[in-house]
Amino acid sequence: MKKLFGAKLFKILLAAFGILLLSIMLVGCKNEKSHAGYYVLESIKSEGNEFGKDFIKEAELDCYIILKDDGTGTMSFSDEATDIKWGDGKLNVEGENVDYNIKNDELTFDIDGDTMVFKRSNDTPPAK
């Protein structure tokens, strides 16, 4: 009787441990943050100079990128919006691939030696 009770207890504990382990794994997967979102131009680095938010505001450079979960998006520079595709570290803009990196909510890429840094925004993106 004691062996039977011990075997049942062992099976129950083993099942509970398995459920706990599975729960931890699922929670870990959910914490992976999607890169989809709304990004606003934060700075431009060109020829050794860095131009920040103040310059961007004064120059009226209204630039943003919207990345959607389905791998599509919009890139807008001064009211000219272009459809894009993104994924695997590449933005596809009008048939041209541009390498990008996203780290700490900053999307960065280079165009002709100029580095553009976009910061994720919690604001509502403008309508296209």
Taking the whole predicted model, whether its pTM rises above 0.85 is answered as: no
- What are 84-125's pLDDT values in tens digits? 999 999 999 988 999 999 999 999 999 888 999 999 999 988
Report d(CA 124, CA 62) in Å as an integer: 14
The region, left, alpha or beta by phi > 0 then psi within -120 to 50, assigned to residue 79 is left
